[in-house]
């Protein structure tokens, strides 16, 4: 595990501390779930909290969420943070207009 963490640290510095989907694949465990430490590392790199139910989404949706959150500008990041804080567990970024429009434009 230390070897993987060293690889992750090296890649993070190499890519100017921006999360990469290659890192996302490294974070996966053999049960296709991420532990809390791995999620916190992604959140730190993104500068945003991941959705509360992030682990319950499929790998495809998880990858899309990371890409979406990476692309948000300052105002969109603030709106995401406020929505997540105020709506709590009822907040669902996957069903949000911003995510759905972004996803549609990705195809």
Q: b or e along 32-41 (b: 16 or more beta carbons within 10 Å of the residue's beta carbon)?
A: eebeeebbeb
| Displacement of CA 48 from its chain's centroid (Å) | 8
pTM of the full structure: 0.68
pLDDT bucket at 65, cuts 50 / 70 / 90: very high
If one counts every other C-beta atom within 10 angstroms of the C-beta of residue 48, the result is: 17
Residue 74 has pLDDT above 50, yes or no: yes
Q: Residue 60 corresponds to which tokens in the numbers above? A: 């495809």
Question: Residue 13 has what pLDDT?
Answer: 40
Q: What is the pLDDT of residues 6-63, one digit of tens each?
A: 444 444 443 444 455 555 555 554 445 667 778 888 888 899 999 988 888 888 999 9
Helix and strand element counts for the chain (H, E): 6, 0
C-alpha distance across the termini of the chain, in Å: 36
Q: What is the pLDDT of residues 79-103, one digit of tens each?
A: 999 999 999 889 999 999 999 999 9
Question: Residue 42 has what pLDDT?
Answer: 87
User: Is 23 in contact with 8 (CB distance < 8 Å)?
Assistant: yes
Residue 2 has pLDDT above 70, yes or no: no
């Amino acid at each position: 595990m230390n070897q993987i963490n060293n690889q992750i640290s090296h890649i993070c510095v190499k890519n100017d501390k921006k999360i990469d989907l290659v890192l996302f694949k490294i974070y996966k465990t053999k049960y296709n779930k991420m532990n809390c430490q791995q999620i916190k590392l992604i959140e730190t790199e993104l500068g945003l909290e991941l959705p509360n139910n992030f682990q319950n989404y499929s790998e495809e949706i998880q990858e899309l969420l990371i890409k979406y959150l990476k692309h948000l500008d300052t105002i969109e990041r603030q709106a995401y943070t406020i929505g997540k804080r105020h709506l709590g567990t009822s907040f669902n970024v996957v069903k949000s207009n911003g995510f759905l429009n972004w996803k549609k434009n990705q195809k």
